[in-house]
Structure 1
Amino acid sequence: MFQRLVALLFITAVLSEPECSKFHYEEQTLNKMIRQEIAMEKLRADMAATQQQVLDALGKLAETTNQLRDDWNNERTNLKRVTNDLIEETNKSVRTFAAEMEKLKGPTVAFRSKDLVDLTPSLGETLVFKTTTLNEGLGYDNKSGIFTAPVAGTYTFSVQFCVHGGKNMYYAIVADGVEIKKGWFCDEKWSTCYTTDTVAVLKKDSKVYVKCSSSSSLLVTSSSYYWNTFSGVLVKS
């Protein structure tokens, strides 16, 4: 195209006529057309270059977008994995803590009994409470009245006796043959219920029971409104 324009200019220069002639006018028109053609050619070249730049920029933008999407997917996968690992580790820690707390808590040992068999016990007699309302650990025997410690530990024991007015109740709580609590309940006029307790550190299979500790005349009463009771619980193993 450019060679054709140059040839036209050359012919125009050779065949130039006086400025007032018809050829002079045509020459100017041709020169104007050539300049316009050159300008259009440059414009097309600039537009093509701009278009290529836009296409290049769009290509880079697409690459960047794809990279960001891939990075986001990777981060989301990593975050999910880290979250799952954290949840699993937390659950493991909770299970471990619960197991340790269970170990610290130790076994449950507790008993509660009522209904004294002999309401006029004699000196040295083991007091038997025939109705067992609680026996976790199966330590209390309501036939013999004796509690046998299923595990070693610190225990607390409690007894309640309801005594007729004017009568006496002498008692002792015994652990492995040793009296660890002794007392005397009485009221000159009124029938009254009395409660006492004690603490003992026992070995496994230690024996604990309540006995009558005096030969004085005794009379212990019971009804649906008040009970004679013997109970105990493991405080710490």
Structure 2
Amino acid sequence: MSFISLVAFLIIFGMYSSHVLEAREPVCSKFAYEEQLLEKMIRTEIKVETMVNEIKKTEDNVISTLGDIKQTVTDMFADMKWNITDEMLKRSDEIERREESFKKLFEEARTNLTIDMEAKREKELTQLQGKFERPPIAFHAYHVTNLVLNITNEIVIFTKSVINEGTGYDTSTGFFTAPVGGLYQFSVHTCVYQGKYAYIGLVLEGKVIGADMNYDKDHYTCSAFGAIARVKSGEKVWVKSTLSAFNYQLYQDSYRMITFSGMLVNN
């Protein structure tokens, strides 16, 4: 750029000197073509310089724009990263809350289950202890004072007892009252005079659960029957005549015993 300016200056100076020397002779300069070419070169240089400046400005604008875009993208990713991180933190907090809630529910369920199991175990131990501590229930009664069976449904009272564990049998009334509920086994043994009849029934709370008829024309005879029944605590069992007449009569002696017995099998 400096070299071109110097050449232009020398040419112009030479032209000026020639004009001064030849002022009196107005003729065309022999350097007219070179002057025009120089002017065109100068204009072209100016245009090129202008274009370079414009390109530089454009380049600067592009670089600036790219910088802005880069910063925008960076900020956008930063915001996205922050949003994602924030969302992840929120989800993490939610998971922790749910985990704590689950732990609490699990602990409550475990505690309740433990309490229920302990209560059930205590109940079973109490029942088992009661079974071990409860005395056996059994009775065996004999000897009937009134042997005549002339009244239907009359209770047969066995006035003596060999055993009465649990004190369920009453020798004054002929009733066995179950001290505890459970499965019981009962048996009745009767004997009759020769030619006499005996219709006997075993009764649970008014319902006949076992019955027998005994008769022999020529001999004293005996027979037995029984029943197994589930009896509730406080319910009564007894023996009665189910049919009566003037010649219906029981018999007993040292060889033939009339008995009524029962025992708790399982409760």
Give the TM-score normalised by the residue count of structure 1.
0.55
Residue 171 (structure 2) aligns with: 142
| 8 A Cα contact 2:212 2:224, kept in partner | no
1:135-174 → structure 2 map (5 Å cutoff): 135-174=164-203
Unaligned runs of 5+ in 2: 1-124
Give the % identical residues.
36
| Correspondence 1:227 to 2:257 | yes
Shift of 1:103: 3.5
1:38-49 → structure 2 map (5 Å cutoff): none
Query: Do the aligned partners of residues 144 and 100 (structure 1) sit closer, same or farther apart at CA in structure 2, a change above 3 Å counting?
Result: closer
SS in 1 for 2:214: strand
Unaligned runs of 5+ in 1: 1-96
Query: Do the aligned partners of residues 224 and 167 (structure 1) sit closer, same or farther apart at CA in structure 2, a change above 3 Å counting?
Result: same
1:206-221 → structure 2 map (5 Å cutoff): 206-216=235-245, 217-221=247-251
RMSD (Å), alpha carbons: 2.1
Residue 113 (structure 1) aligns with: 141
| Correspondence 1:188 to 2:225 | no
For residues 46-82 of structure 1, the C-alpha deviation after alignment (integer angstroms, 9 at most, x for no partner) is xxxxxxxxxxxxxxxxxxxxxxxxxxxxxxxxxxxxx
Q: Which has the larger radius of gyration?
A: 2
Quick one: distance in 1 between partners of 2:128 and 2:229? Answer: 26
Quick one: distance in 1 between partners of 2:130 and 2:181? Answer: 17
For residues 160-201 of structure 1, the C-alpha deviation after alignment (integer angstroms, 9 at most, x for no partner) is 111111110001111011111122111121101111111110
**Paired letter, 2:200:** Y
Pick the structure with more helix per residue: 2
Q: Report the count of equivalent residues.
A: 140
For residues 69-98 of structure 1, the C-alpha deviation after alignment (integer angstroms, 9 at most, x for no partner) is xxxxxxxxxxxxxxxxxxxxxxxxxxxx9x
**After the TM superposition, which segments of 4 or more aligned residues of structure 1 sit over 2 Å from their partners?**
99-107
Shift of 1:130: 0.5
For residues 140-165 of structure 1, the C-alpha deviation after alignment (integer angstroms, 9 at most, x for no partner) is 00000000000000001111111111
**Paired letter, 1:118:** N
| 8 A Cα contact 1:174 1:210, kept in partner | yes
Shift of 1:208: 0.2
SS in 1 for 2:243: coil
**Paired letter, 2:178:** A
